[in-house]
Protein backbone atom coordinates (compact mmCIF):
# COMPACT_ATOMS: atom_id res chain seq x y z
CA UNK A 1 0.00 0.00 0.00
CA UNK A 2 2.76 2.39 0.92
CA UNK A 3 4.55 1.70 -2.33
CA UNK A 4 1.42 2.27 -4.37
CA UNK A 5 0.73 5.52 -2.63
CA UNK A 6 4.26 6.61 -3.28
CA UNK A 7 3.89 5.83 -6.97
CA UNK A 8 0.67 7.78 -7.17
CA UNK A 9 2.19 10.78 -5.46
CA UNK A 10 5.27 10.62 -7.63
CA UNK A 11 3.30 10.38 -10.83
CA UNK A 12 1.01 13.22 -9.81
CA UNK A 13 4.03 15.37 -9.04
CA UNK A 14 5.57 14.28 -12.33
CA UNK A 15 2.46 15.14 -14.31
CA UNK A 16 2.26 18.49 -12.60
CA UNK A 17 5.86 19.22 -13.41
CA UNK A 18 5.42 18.23 -17.05
CA UNK A 19 2.29 20.34 -17.34
CA UNK A 20 4.05 23.26 -15.68
CA UNK A 21 6.98 22.85 -18.02
CA UNK A 22 4.73 22.81 -21.06
CA UNK A 23 3.00 25.89 -19.74
CA UNK A 24 6.25 27.77 -19.30
CA UNK A 25 7.84 26.52 -22.50
CA UNK A 26 4.87 27.16 -24.74
CA UNK A 27 4.53 30.73 -23.61
CA UNK A 28 0.75 30.48 -23.57
CA UNK A 29 -1.35 32.85 -21.63
CA UNK A 30 -2.66 31.24 -18.44
CA UNK A 31 -6.20 31.51 -19.76
CA UNK A 32 -5.62 29.61 -22.96
CA UNK A 33 -3.48 27.18 -21.05
CA UNK A 34 -6.30 26.31 -18.70
CA UNK A 35 -8.65 26.13 -21.62
CA UNK A 36 -6.42 23.50 -23.21
CA UNK A 37 -6.02 21.75 -19.92
CA UNK A 38 -9.76 21.34 -19.66
CA UNK A 39 -10.00 20.07 -23.22
CA UNK A 40 -7.19 17.66 -22.49
CA UNK A 41 -9.05 16.32 -19.48
CA UNK A 42 -12.10 15.64 -21.59
CA UNK A 43 -10.13 14.15 -24.48
CA UNK A 44 -8.06 12.10 -22.06
CA UNK A 45 -11.13 10.68 -20.36
CA UNK A 46 -12.16 8.98 -23.60
CA UNK A 47 -8.75 7.40 -23.90
CA UNK A 48 -8.73 6.46 -20.26
CA UNK A 49 -12.11 4.75 -20.37
CA UNK A 50 -11.22 2.77 -23.47
CA UNK A 51 -7.73 1.97 -22.25
CA UNK A 52 -9.25 0.42 -19.14
CA UNK A 53 -10.98 -2.20 -21.28
CA UNK A 54 -7.79 -3.09 -23.12
CA UNK A 55 -5.84 -3.18 -19.94
CA UNK A 56 -8.25 -5.43 -18.07
CA UNK A 57 -8.43 -7.96 -20.88
CA UNK A 58 -4.70 -7.86 -21.28
CA UNK A 59 -4.19 -8.21 -17.58
CA UNK A 60 -6.60 -11.05 -16.98
CA UNK A 61 -6.31 -13.08 -20.18
CA UNK A 62 -2.99 -11.87 -21.59
CA UNK A 63 -4.73 -11.05 -24.85
CA UNK A 64 -4.68 -8.04 -27.08
CA UNK A 65 -8.35 -7.40 -27.69
CA UNK A 66 -7.89 -5.71 -31.03
CA UNK A 67 -11.67 -5.43 -31.43
CA UNK A 68 -12.03 -3.13 -28.44
CA UNK A 69 -11.80 0.11 -30.40
CA UNK A 70 -14.70 -1.07 -32.49
CA UNK A 71 -16.67 -2.01 -29.41
CA UNK A 72 -16.27 1.63 -28.46
CA UNK A 73 -17.79 2.51 -31.81
CA UNK A 74 -20.62 0.00 -31.33
CA UNK A 75 -21.27 1.44 -27.89
CA UNK A 76 -21.51 4.92 -29.33
CA UNK A 77 -23.97 3.73 -31.97
CA UNK A 78 -26.06 1.81 -29.46
CA UNK A 79 -26.18 4.94 -27.34
CA UNK A 80 -27.11 6.96 -30.40
CA UNK A 81 -29.89 4.51 -31.23
CA UNK A 82 -31.32 4.59 -27.73
CA UNK A 83 -31.09 8.33 -27.41
CA UNK A 84 -32.61 8.98 -30.83
CA UNK A 85 -35.33 6.46 -30.16
CA UNK A 86 -36.23 7.94 -26.81
CA UNK A 87 -36.21 11.46 -28.20
CA UNK A 88 -38.47 10.36 -31.05
CA UNK A 89 -40.84 8.68 -28.62
CA UNK A 90 -40.91 11.87 -26.60
CA UNK A 91 -41.66 13.92 -29.72
CA UNK A 92 -44.64 11.75 -30.56
CA UNK A 93 -45.82 12.06 -27.03
CA UNK A 94 -45.75 8.33 -26.39
CA UNK A 95 -43.10 8.42 -23.70
CA UNK A 96 -42.28 11.98 -22.81
CA UNK A 97 -39.17 11.94 -20.67
CA UNK A 98 -37.11 14.82 -19.46
CA UNK A 99 -33.81 15.12 -21.27
CA UNK A 100 -31.65 14.33 -18.26
CA UNK A 101 -33.53 11.08 -17.75
CA UNK A 102 -33.03 10.19 -21.40
CA UNK A 103 -29.34 10.79 -20.95
CA UNK A 104 -29.15 8.63 -17.85
CA UNK A 105 -31.16 5.89 -19.49
CA UNK A 106 -29.03 6.09 -22.62
CA UNK A 107 -25.81 5.72 -20.70
CA UNK A 108 -27.07 2.88 -18.53
CA UNK A 109 -28.80 0.94 -21.28
CA UNK A 110 -25.97 1.41 -23.75
CA UNK A 111 -23.46 0.21 -21.20
CA UNK A 112 -25.68 -2.76 -20.46
CA UNK A 113 -26.18 -3.79 -24.09
CA UNK A 114 -22.62 -3.12 -25.13
CA UNK A 115 -21.34 -5.30 -22.35
CA UNK A 116 -23.24 -8.12 -24.05
CA UNK A 117 -21.57 -7.27 -27.33
CA UNK A 118 -18.25 -7.58 -25.53
CA UNK A 119 -19.19 -10.92 -24.00
CA UNK A 120 -20.34 -12.13 -27.40
CA UNK A 121 -17.00 -11.15 -28.90
CA UNK A 122 -15.24 -13.09 -26.15
CA UNK A 123 -17.47 -16.10 -26.61
CA UNK A 124 -17.15 -16.23 -30.39
CA UNK A 125 -13.68 -14.92 -31.03
CA UNK A 126 -11.56 -15.60 -28.01
CA UNK A 127 -12.86 -18.47 -25.93
CA UNK A 128 -12.41 -21.12 -28.63
CA UNK A 129 -8.82 -19.95 -28.97
CA UNK A 130 -7.80 -19.92 -25.36
CA UNK A 131 -5.40 -22.82 -25.79
CA UNK A 132 -4.15 -21.52 -29.11
CA UNK A 133 -1.20 -19.21 -29.69
CA UNK A 134 -2.11 -15.76 -28.50
CA UNK A 135 -1.29 -14.33 -31.89
CA UNK A 136 -4.15 -16.29 -33.43
CA UNK A 137 -6.52 -14.68 -30.97
CA UNK A 138 -5.12 -11.31 -31.99
CA UNK A 139 -6.04 -12.15 -35.57
CA UNK A 140 -9.61 -13.05 -34.65
CA UNK A 141 -9.76 -9.78 -32.73
CA UNK A 142 -8.69 -7.84 -35.81
CA UNK A 143 -11.21 -9.72 -37.90
CA UNK A 144 -14.05 -9.11 -35.46
CA UNK A 145 -13.15 -5.44 -35.56
CA UNK A 146 -13.45 -5.45 -39.34
CA UNK A 147 -16.79 -7.26 -39.09
CA UNK A 148 -18.13 -4.71 -36.64
CA UNK A 149 -17.05 -1.79 -38.82
CA UNK A 150 -18.34 -3.27 -42.03
CA UNK A 151 -21.48 -4.57 -40.39
CA UNK A 152 -22.23 -1.08 -39.22
CA UNK A 153 -21.60 0.30 -42.70
CA UNK A 154 -23.82 -2.34 -44.25
CA UNK A 155 -26.66 -1.85 -41.78
CA UNK A 156 -26.65 1.89 -41.31
CA UNK A 157 -24.93 3.14 -44.43
CA UNK A 158 -21.99 5.43 -44.79
CA UNK A 159 -23.56 8.68 -43.71
CA UNK A 160 -22.46 10.14 -40.44
CA UNK A 161 -24.87 10.22 -37.56
CA UNK A 162 -25.44 13.10 -35.26
CA UNK A 163 -25.87 12.42 -31.61
CA UNK A 164 -29.02 14.20 -30.38
CA UNK A 165 -28.16 17.07 -28.13
CA UNK A 166 -29.70 16.10 -24.83
CA UNK A 167 -28.18 18.70 -22.60
CA UNK A 168 -28.37 22.32 -23.40
CA UNK A 169 -24.80 23.50 -23.43
CA UNK A 170 -24.29 26.16 -20.84
CA UNK A 171 -21.15 28.16 -20.86
CA UNK A 172 -19.70 29.51 -17.68
CA UNK A 173 -17.08 32.21 -17.74
CA UNK A 174 -14.55 31.89 -15.00
CA UNK A 175 -12.58 34.96 -15.77
CA UNK A 176 -11.15 34.47 -19.25
CA UNK A 177 -11.62 30.67 -19.17
CA UNK A 178 -14.83 29.28 -20.58
CA UNK A 179 -16.22 26.09 -19.11
CA UNK A 180 -19.20 24.20 -20.44
CA UNK A 181 -21.41 22.03 -18.32
CA UNK A 182 -20.96 19.19 -20.85
CA UNK A 183 -17.23 19.07 -20.34
CA UNK A 184 -17.56 19.07 -16.60
CA UNK A 185 -20.15 16.34 -16.74
CA UNK A 186 -18.05 14.15 -19.02
CA UNK A 187 -14.94 14.45 -16.92
CA UNK A 188 -16.84 13.96 -13.71
CA UNK A 189 -18.76 10.91 -14.94
CA UNK A 190 -15.60 9.35 -16.37
CA UNK A 191 -13.79 9.74 -13.10
CA UNK A 192 -16.80 8.33 -11.30
CA UNK A 193 -16.85 5.26 -13.56
CA UNK A 194 -13.14 4.69 -13.07
CA UNK A 195 -13.52 4.97 -9.35
CA UNK A 196 -16.42 2.53 -9.48
CA UNK A 197 -14.34 0.05 -11.43
CA UNK A 198 -11.52 0.44 -9.00
CA UNK A 199 -13.84 -0.29 -6.09
CA UNK A 200 -15.33 -3.25 -7.92
CA UNK A 201 -11.95 -4.80 -8.57
CA UNK A 202 -10.68 -4.17 -5.07
CA UNK A 203 -13.71 -4.93 -2.97
CA UNK A 204 -15.82 -7.60 -4.60
CA UNK A 205 -15.33 -11.32 -4.87
CA UNK A 206 -15.40 -11.06 -8.67
CA UNK A 207 -12.84 -8.34 -8.65
CA UNK A 208 -10.59 -10.47 -6.51
CA UNK A 209 -11.02 -13.39 -8.90
CA UNK A 210 -10.02 -11.10 -11.76
CA UNK A 211 -6.92 -9.98 -9.95
CA UNK A 212 -6.04 -13.55 -9.14
CA UNK A 213 -6.38 -14.52 -12.79
CA UNK A 214 -4.19 -11.64 -13.79
CA UNK A 215 -1.61 -13.01 -11.42
CA UNK A 216 -1.66 -16.53 -12.79
CA UNK A 217 -4.21 -17.81 -15.24
CA UNK A 218 -2.85 -21.32 -15.24
CA UNK A 219 -3.20 -22.17 -11.59
CA UNK A 220 -6.06 -19.93 -10.52
CA UNK A 221 -8.71 -21.72 -12.60
CA UNK A 222 -7.64 -24.91 -10.85
CA UNK A 223 -8.53 -23.28 -7.54
CA UNK A 224 -12.18 -23.18 -8.48
CA UNK A 225 -12.30 -19.73 -10.04
CA UNK A 226 -14.65 -20.05 -13.02
CA UNK A 227 -12.43 -18.92 -15.82
CA UNK A 228 -15.15 -18.48 -18.42
CA UNK A 229 -17.28 -16.34 -16.16
CA UNK A 230 -14.35 -14.16 -15.24
CA UNK A 231 -13.32 -13.79 -18.86
CA UNK A 232 -16.86 -12.82 -19.85
CA UNK A 233 -17.06 -10.42 -16.92
CA UNK A 234 -13.79 -8.80 -17.91
CA UNK A 235 -14.95 -8.29 -21.46
CA UNK A 236 -18.36 -7.11 -20.28
CA UNK A 237 -16.96 -4.52 -17.90
CA UNK A 238 -14.45 -3.25 -20.43
CA UNK A 239 -17.11 -2.97 -23.09
CA UNK A 240 -19.48 -1.13 -20.76
CA UNK A 241 -16.79 1.45 -20.08
CA UNK A 242 -16.09 1.71 -23.79
CA UNK A 243 -19.79 2.31 -24.39
CA UNK A 244 -19.76 5.11 -21.84
CA UNK A 245 -16.75 6.58 -23.61
CA UNK A 246 -18.60 6.25 -26.90
CA UNK A 247 -21.60 8.16 -25.61
CA UNK A 248 -19.46 10.87 -24.08
CA UNK A 249 -17.64 11.13 -27.37
CA UNK A 250 -20.97 11.40 -29.13
CA UNK A 251 -22.09 14.16 -26.80
CA UNK A 252 -18.87 16.11 -27.08
CA UNK A 253 -18.29 15.71 -30.81
CA UNK A 254 -21.75 14.93 -32.04
CA UNK A 255 -20.63 13.08 -35.18
CA UNK A 256 -20.47 9.29 -35.29
CA UNK A 257 -18.98 7.25 -38.10
CA UNK A 258 -18.18 3.54 -38.44
CA UNK A 259 -14.41 4.01 -38.42
CA UNK A 260 -14.29 6.17 -35.31
CA UNK A 261 -13.04 3.16 -33.36
CA UNK A 262 -9.85 2.98 -35.38
CA UNK A 263 -9.05 6.59 -34.75
CA UNK A 264 -9.43 6.47 -30.99
CA UNK A 265 -9.13 2.79 -30.21
CA UNK A 266 -5.59 2.11 -31.34
CA UNK A 267 -4.26 5.04 -29.42
CA UNK A 268 -6.12 3.96 -26.33
CA UNK A 269 -4.56 0.54 -26.79
CA UNK A 270 -1.11 2.03 -26.77
CA UNK A 271 -2.08 4.04 -23.70
CA UNK A 272 -3.20 0.87 -21.95
CA UNK A 273 0.19 -0.68 -22.52
CA UNK A 274 1.85 2.49 -21.36
CA UNK A 275 -0.07 2.22 -18.11
CA UNK A 276 1.26 -1.22 -17.43
CA UNK A 277 -0.21 -4.65 -17.75
CA UNK A 278 -3.57 -4.94 -16.05
CA UNK A 279 -3.13 -1.79 -14.02
CA UNK A 280 -6.37 0.16 -13.77
CA UNK A 281 -4.69 3.18 -12.29
CA UNK A 282 -1.99 2.99 -14.93
CA UNK A 283 -4.43 2.77 -17.81
CA UNK A 284 -6.43 5.71 -16.52
CA UNK A 285 -3.34 7.83 -15.95
CA UNK A 286 -1.85 6.92 -19.30
CA UNK A 287 -5.15 7.75 -21.00
CA UNK A 288 -5.17 11.19 -19.49
CA UNK A 289 -1.50 11.64 -20.28
CA UNK A 290 -2.14 10.79 -23.92
CA UNK A 291 -4.98 13.29 -23.93
CA UNK A 292 -2.68 15.96 -22.55
CA UNK A 293 0.04 15.19 -25.03
CA UNK A 294 -2.30 15.31 -27.99
CA UNK A 295 -4.14 18.48 -27.04
CA UNK A 296 -0.97 20.36 -26.20
CA UNK A 297 0.90 19.15 -29.25
CA UNK A 298 -2.00 20.33 -31.36
CA UNK A 299 -1.99 23.64 -29.52
CA UNK A 300 1.73 24.29 -29.88
CA UNK A 301 2.68 22.63 -33.15
CA UNK A 302 0.77 22.20 -36.39
CA UNK A 303 -1.98 19.73 -35.54
CA UNK A 304 -0.85 17.31 -38.25
CA UNK A 305 2.17 16.53 -36.12
CA UNK A 306 -0.06 15.28 -33.32
CA UNK A 307 0.31 11.56 -34.01
CA UNK A 308 4.02 11.68 -34.69
CA UNK A 309 4.80 13.42 -31.45
CA UNK A 310 2.31 11.47 -29.34
CA UNK A 311 3.58 8.11 -30.52
CA UNK A 312 7.20 9.19 -30.31
CA UNK A 313 6.75 10.19 -26.68
CA UNK A 314 5.11 6.84 -26.00
CA UNK A 315 7.98 5.02 -27.69
CA UNK A 316 10.43 7.00 -25.63
CA UNK A 317 8.65 6.17 -22.39
CA UNK A 318 8.42 2.50 -23.30
CA UNK A 319 12.10 2.43 -24.14
CA UNK A 320 12.97 3.50 -20.64
CA UNK A 321 10.10 1.82 -18.83
CA UNK A 322 9.41 -1.28 -20.91
CA UNK A 323 6.74 -2.46 -18.51
CA UNK A 324 4.79 0.77 -18.52
CA UNK A 325 4.07 2.94 -15.53
CA UNK A 326 2.77 0.32 -13.14
CA UNK A 327 3.50 -2.93 -14.90
CA UNK A 328 5.52 -5.56 -13.14
CA UNK A 329 8.32 -7.18 -15.08
CA UNK A 330 7.15 -10.58 -16.14
CA UNK A 331 8.05 -13.11 -18.74
CA UNK A 332 5.27 -13.69 -21.17
CA UNK A 333 4.18 -17.25 -21.43
CA UNK A 334 4.22 -17.44 -25.15
CA UNK A 335 2.01 -20.32 -26.05
CA UNK A 336 3.10 -20.93 -29.57
Partner 1 sequence: MEVRGSTVSPAETMAGNALLDEVRAQLAQIPLLGWLCGTLLATAVEQTVGESLAKALSLPAIPGLFGLRIILSPLFEILLAVIQYRRDIPGLVASLKTIAPDLALIPGAVAFILLVYILPTLIVARLSAPLTNRLAKWLLDRFPLWVSLLLHLGLFYATLHLWGDISEYRMLILRFILISIILTLSLNLVNGYMGEFSCSHPGFMAMGAYASSVLTVLFFVNDDVFGAPLLPPAIGPFMFPLALIIGGLVASVGALAVAIPSFRTRGDYLAIISLAFMFIVKSVIENLEIIGGPRGFMNQPKWANLPIVFAWTAICVWMIYNFTRSTIGKASCAVRDDETAAGAMTINTRRTKMVTFLFAAFWAGVAGGLFAHVMGYINPGTFGVLKLSEVLAMVYLGGLNSVVGSIAGALGLQLLMEVLRPLELWKWIVIPILLIVLMIRRPTGLIAFTEVKIEDLLRPRQTLRSSAQVPGEGR
What residues line the site for partner 1 (CB under 8 A)?
Answer: 64, 124-125, 128-129, 132-140, 142-144, 146-147, 149-151, 153-154, 262, 266, 269-270, 273, 302, 304-308, 311-312, 314-315, 318-319, 322-323, 329-332, 334, 336
Q: Which of 149, 185, 179 minimizes the C-alpha distance to 165? A: 185
> CB 15 → partner 1: shortest distance, Å?
21
36 vs 277 by CB, closer to partner 1: 277
| Listed residue (79, 81, 55) closest to 68, CA to CA | 55
Phi, psi (degrees; rounded to nearest 5) at 150:
-70, -35
- Listed residue (271, 285, 277) closest to 315, CA to CA: 271
Q: Which is nearer to partner 1, 198 or 306 (CB)?
A: 306
Total Cβ atoms within 10 A of residue 34: 18
Smallest distance, partner 1 to C-beta of residue 261, A: 10
Question: For partner 1, which is the closer residue by CB, 105 or 132?
Answer: 132
The Cα 261–Cα 268 span in angstroms is 10
What distance lies between CA 292 and its chain's CA centroid? 15
43 vs 269, beta carbon nearer partner 1: 269
Query: Residue length, the chain?
Result: 336
**CA–CA distance, 285 with 12 (Å, rounded to integer):** 9
Least distance between partner 1 and beta carbon 248 (Å): 23
Report, in Å, the least distance between residue 39 CB and partner 1: 21
By C-alpha distance, which of 266, 278, 238 is closest to 62?
A: 278
Q: How far is CA 136 from the centre of its chain?
A: 24
CA 42 to CA 179: how far, in whole Å?
12
Least distance in angstroms from the C-beta of 130 to partner 1: 10
- Least CB distance from residue 50 to partner 1, whole Å? 15
Task: Give Cα 118 distance to the centre of its chain.
Answer: 14
How many Cβ atoms are within 10 Å of 1's Cβ, its own excluded?
Answer: 5
CA-CA distances (angstroms) from residue 122 to 7, 75, 129, 215, 273?
33, 16, 10, 20, 20
- Nearer Cβ to partner 1 (134/183): 134
CB of 93 to partner 1, least distance (A): 30
Amino acid sequence: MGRRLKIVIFSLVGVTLVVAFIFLASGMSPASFFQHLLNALQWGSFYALIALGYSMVYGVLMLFNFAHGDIFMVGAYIGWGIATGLVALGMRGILPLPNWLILVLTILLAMFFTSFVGMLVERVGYRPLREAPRASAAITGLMIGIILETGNLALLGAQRRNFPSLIKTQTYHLGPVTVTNVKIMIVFLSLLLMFGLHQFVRRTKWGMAMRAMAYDFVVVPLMGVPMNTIAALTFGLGSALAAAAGIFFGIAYPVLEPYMGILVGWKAFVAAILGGRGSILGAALAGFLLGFIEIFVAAIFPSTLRDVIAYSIILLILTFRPHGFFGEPYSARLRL
